[in-house]
Amino acid sequence: MIDLVINNFTKYKGLSRSFWQRIIIESSKTAGFEKYILDLSINLVGDAKMKSLNKKYRGKNLSTDVLSFPLKEKISIGDKKDGIISLGDIFICLPVAKKHAAIENVGLDFKVTFLAVHGFLHLLGFDHEKSPTEERRMFYLQDKILLGLGYSK
């Protein structure tokens, strides 16, 4: 079960609640957390908000496609409180996602799905920047989730 908060701070209304739920349900199932109630938020934002977040928390004065703010460095099954595991927040910059989708010649649905899955794995504690081994583990799981959602390489 998922306790999912969706905040859309953009004018774009083409992504339904069920779209996001499907992504997070498949991600949690593939990552082995399907038996738990996961609490998280997905926030769609514009360039200015994402640039502000990226500067404040990463020291980078530019917009980016996705940022994750996990509540813990690494999530484990023992982290549940009252049957709920609180993960944190994912921020997706819709203008950057649209631009990258066009450059990569993929649909916006795929691009934001990819970003949501990527952000979700960061909330679980995966970090592709830590080491080549961690990168392989994260990207393997990311590809497996995307395949489960019907996207192949």
* Count of domains forming the chain: 1
Instruction: Provide the pairing of β-strand 2-8 with 37-45.
Output: parallel
Three-state secondary structure string covering 4-67:
EEEEECCCCCCCCHHHHHHHHHHHHHHCCCCCCEEEEEEEEECHHHHHHHHHHHHCCCCCCCEE
Q: How buried is 98 (Cβ within 10 angstroms: 0-12 exposed, 13-18 middle, 19+ buried)?
A: middle
Q: Kindly state whether residue 66 falls inside one of the protein's structural domains.
A: yes
Q: Kindly state whether residue 18 falls inside one of the protein's structural domains.
A: yes
Q: What percent of the chain has pLDDT over 70?
A: 93
Q: How far apart are CA 23 and CA 4, in angstroms?
A: 11
Give the domain extent around 144.
2-148
Q: Kindly state whether residue 85 falls inside one of the protein's structural domains.
A: yes
pLDDT confidence of residue 78: 59
Q: Kindly state whether residue 119 falls inside one of the protein's structural domains.
A: yes
pLDDT confidence of residue 129: 86
Q: Kindly state whether residue 107 falls inside one of the protein's structural domains.
A: yes
CATH number where 26 lies: 3.40.390.30
pLDDT confidence of residue 82: 65
Contact between residue 142 and residue 131 where contact means Cβ atoms under 8 Å apart:
no
| CA-to-CA separations, 152 to 29, 112, 139, 143, 146, in angstroms, rounded | 18, 15, 13, 8, 7
The per-residue pLDDT for range 108-124, each reduced to its tens digit, is: 999 999 999 999 999 99
The per-residue pLDDT for range 37-79, each reduced to its tens digit, is: 899 999 999 999 999 999 999 999 999 999 999 987 766 655 5
Report the candidate in 77, 95, 149 with the shortest Cα–Cα distance to residue 118: 149
Among 31-35, 60-64, 102-106, 143-147, whose mean pLDDT is lowest? 31-35
Q: Kindly state whether residue 97 falls inside one of the protein's structural domains.
A: yes
Q: What is the mean pLDDT of residues 92-97?
A: 98
Q: Kindly state whether residue 153 falls inside one of the protein's structural domains.
A: no
